Amino acid sequence: MKNSSTMTTLEKMRGLMLSGMADHYQAVLSMPAHQQPESAVMLAQLLEAELLYRNHRRTQTAIKNARFRYQASVEEIICSQDRNLSRETLSMLADGSYIDRGENIIISGATGCGKSFLASALGYQACMQGRKVAYFSLPKLLQQLKSDKLDGSFRKDMERIEKMNLLILDDWGLTPLDTQSRLALLQIIEDRHNRYSTIITSQLPVSSWHSYINENTIADAILDRIIHKANRIELMGESLRKNNTKKQF
């Protein structure tokens, strides 16, 4: 039963932005008096409720800010010999330890085979583990960085990209690179090398990446930093997008 004192306490909790604590306290107050926990137990429960609420809110904010192409989870990923993706490999990557080691992931394969969906799922998993993640289509990112050069926001955006625990670059090799794009890409990879992880998806096989970059010195520098510490997944099989009857990739 609520009285003026408990209502004031609830108002103070909400005023202090302790929403998780307030929600739990309100739920306790709705219980019969003989079922309500003792003060010490209630305090522990209130603190735990607030911690869980804040962690959940932080995770949801991280997922929103990442701007994934797909809403995906690792549980939705189809693992099979035909796809050249085993459950063991997926589980190994899903634990996020590759991020702790500053390793990269390269996901290659034909269009529609689920590269972007897999990258989104691994990014979502990283957000759930409390990591900062950013997802970009590489052609759009490079175009945006060109615009940043004009309005003076280039350094700010590059610093934000650099600090992401996990950066996902989708559509690698989809459009040609000019000199400015090559240099921007080199800076991104160089700034993150051995510190943070990057997932790259591409229709091009890795053996064609040097030709795609199309400038020997820059290509050598970029590929040395990406491939040296990379987990490589080459997805196989028919287009899942064409045959998709379920929201699984």
Residues 69-91 pLDDT 10s: 999 999 999 999 999 999 999 99
In the chain, list all ranges with CATH 3.40.50.300.
69-243
* pTM of the shown model: 0.79
Whether 188 and 157 have beta carbons less than 8 Å apart is answered as: no
Class of domain 69-243 (CATH, top level): alpha beta
Summarised one tens digit per residue, pLDDT across range 21-66 is: 888 888 888 888 888 888 888 888 888 888 887 888 888 888 999 9
Per-residue pLDDT of the chain (249 residues; tens, 9 = 90+): 457 777 888 888 888 888 888 888 888 888 888 888 888 888 888 888 888 878 888 888 889 999 999 999 999 999 999 999 999 999 999 999 999 999 999 999 999 999 999 999 999 999 999 999 999 999 999 999 999 888 889 999 999 999 999 999 999 999 999 999 999 999 999 999 999 999 999 999 999 999 999 999 999 999 999 998 899 999 997 776 565 544 456
